[in-house]
């Protein structure tokens, strides 16, 4: 096999890890609260800016900067729920979609206002590994590993704890969980916080690889939605697998043509698949 193709495939798998992490966060929020956060990728952008300023500007040690970003973005997630989602919870689904869309506008423009449109890099240069003449970026490798650890941690949390079980239960029967003593509003806050924390974690991983700018959300936001829908909105395992399918299409497509066209392939694949399986790849 062509060595560069192999390299593309490996990079695709590594990219898939971060996308899978984001898809998990978005799917968790959708599955439990039944709201699509159109602005999810822009919340990641906030996290990337937080890391940039903490580390590159104020010289906070990187691990501490990461920790602060994760906690900060988790708090942001809770605030988004309290101030934007909670007031429209009983509205038509499209109003909820639009409320988070308004937040998308706000976050992008506010970031432009505060930081300008410059591309900023935290300036951490990690080595490139060479394994049998294949070059693999160390940053991507770390991102992949951490994303997997994050996904496993989430899985254990959902599987083993009372709150986790309640979170899974609530997406199966919204009304009846109250009878079990579960306070729906509290679960929503917890889930928004976890969704935010996952976005914060993804921000850490992306900050190592990409420059941050106010519109970075537009580049991978639509891809995340596509992954979630492909896996079946709310289906976390489906989304996890779909992340790797899509990242492979992007990676291999990018190898044979250009980056933009590889995304065109991915989106087209998505549209066609929606016609074949309208409720996602893994719908029963």
Partner 1 sequence: MNLNHVLWAVGLAILIALPFLAPPYFLHLVIQILIWAFIYTAWSLMGRFGFVSFGHGAFLGVGAYVPALLWNYYGLTPWLGIPLGVAGAVLLAIVVGYPCFRRRVVGHYFALVTLALSQVVLLSLVAARDITGGSLGFTQKAVGHSWYALQFPEKGYFYVIAVLLWLAGLAAWRSIDRGIGREALEAISEDEDAAAAVGIDVMRQKMRVTIVSAALTAVGGAIYGQYVMYLNPETVSGIAVSLQIVFAAIAGGVYSLLGPSVGSLLTLSLTEGLRVWFGTDYIGAANTIYGILLVLCIIFMPQGIVGSLQGMRRRGAIAKPLVTLDRQSATRRPSSAAQ
Partner 2 sequence: MTPMLSLATVSAAYGSFQALFGVSLDVARGEAVGVIGPNGAGKTTLMRVISGILPMRDGTMSIEGREIGGLPAHRVVEQGIAHVPENRRLFPRLSVEENLRIGAFIPSARARFAEQLDWVYQLFPRLKERRGQPAGTMSGGEQQMCAIARALMSKPKVLLMDEPSAGLAPIVVQQVFELVHRIRAEGLTVLIVEQNVQQVLDVVDRAYLLEVGAIKLSGTAAELKGNSFIREAYMGL
CA distance linking residue 105 with residue 40, whole number of Å: 12
Instruction: Determine, following the binding rule CB under 8 A, whether residue 182 of this chain makes contact with partner 2.
Output: yes
From candidates 79, 102, 124, 183, binder to partner 1 by CB under 8 A: 102
Q: Which pair of tokens denotes residue 46?
A: 């906030």
When CB distances are held under 5 to 8 angstroms depending on the partner's kind, the choice from partner 1, partner 2, none that residue 256 binds is: none
Name residue, tokens 């998308």: 104
Between 11 and 171, name the residue whose CB sits nearer to partner 1.
Answer: 171
Site for partner 1 in 9-48 (CB under 8 A): 31, 34, 36, 38
Give the nearest distance from C-beta 194 to partner 1 in angstroms.
Answer: 18
Task: Work out the widest C-alpha separation in the chain, in whole angstroms.
Answer: 60
From candidates 169, 189, 237, 274, binder to partner 2 by CB under 8 A: 169
From candidates 233, 245, 246, 250, binder to partner 1 by CB under 8 A: 233
Instruction: Determine, following the binding rule CB under 8 A, whether residue 177 of this chain makes contact with partner 2.
Output: yes
Instruction: Determine, following the binding rule CB under 8 A, whether residue 178 of this chain makes contact with partner 1.
Output: no
CA distance linking residue 195 with residue 212, whole number of Å: 20
Give the nearest distance from C-beta 155 to partner 2 in angstroms.
Answer: 14
Give the nearest distance from C-beta 108 to partner 1 in angstroms.
Answer: 7
Cα distances (angstroms) measured from residue 192 to each of 27, 37, 73, 189, 266: 11, 10, 10, 5, 28
Q: Which stretch binds partner 2 (CB under 8 A): 41-49, 52-60, 173-181, 251-259?
A: 173-181
DSSP string for residues in 173-221 = -TTGGGGGT--HHHHHHHHHHHHHHHHHHHHHHHHTTS-B-TTHHHHHH
CA distance linking residue 57 with residue 49, whole number of Å: 11
Site for partner 1 in 78-97 (CB under 8 A): 84, 87-88, 91-95, 97
CA distance linking residue 252 with residue 5, whole number of Å: 7
Encode 20-47: b = buried (16+ Cβ within 10 Å), e = exposed. Answer: bbbbbbbbbbbbbbbbbbbbbbbbbbbb
Q: Which stretch binds partner 2 (CB under 8 A): 24-32, 158-166, 201-209, 215-223?
A: 158-166
Interface residues toward partner 2, by CB under 8 A = 162, 165-166, 168-169, 172-173, 175-184
């Amino acid at each position: 096999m062509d060595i560069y193709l192999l390299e593309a495939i490996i990079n695709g798998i590594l990219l898939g890890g971060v996308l899978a992490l984001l898809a998990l966060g978005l799917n968790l929020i959708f599955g439990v609260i039944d709201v699509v956060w159109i602005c999810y990728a822009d919340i990641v952008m906030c996290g990337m800016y937080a890391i940039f300023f903490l580390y590159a500007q104020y010289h906070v040690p990187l691990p501490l900067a990461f920790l602060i970003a994760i906690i900060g973005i988790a708090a942001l997630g809770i605030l988004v729920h309290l101030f934007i989602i909670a007031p429209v919870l009983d509205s038509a689904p499209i109003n909820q979609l639009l409320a988070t869309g308004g937040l998308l506008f706000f976050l992008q423009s506010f970031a432009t206002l505060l930081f300008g449109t410059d591309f900023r890099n935290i300036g951490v240069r990690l080595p490139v590994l060479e394994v049998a003449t294949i070059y693999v970026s160390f940053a991507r490798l770390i991102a992949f590993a951490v994303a997997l650890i994050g996904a496993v941690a989430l899985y254990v949390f959902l599987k083993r704890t009372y709150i986790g079980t309640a979170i899974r239960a609530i997406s199966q029967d919204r009304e009846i969980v109250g009878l079990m003593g579960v306070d729906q509003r509290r679960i929503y806050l917890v889930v928004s916080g976890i969704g935010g924390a996952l976005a914060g974690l993804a921000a850490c991983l992306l900050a190592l690889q990409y420059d941050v700018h106010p519109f970075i959300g537009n580049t991978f936001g639509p891809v995340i939605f596509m992954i979630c829908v492909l896996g079946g909105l709310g289906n976390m395992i489906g989304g996890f697998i779909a992340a790797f399918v899509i990242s492979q299409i992007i990676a291999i497509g990018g190898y044979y043509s250009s980056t933009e066209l590889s995304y065109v392939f991915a989106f087209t694949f998505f549209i066609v698949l929606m016609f074949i399986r309208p409720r996602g790849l893994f719908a029963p």
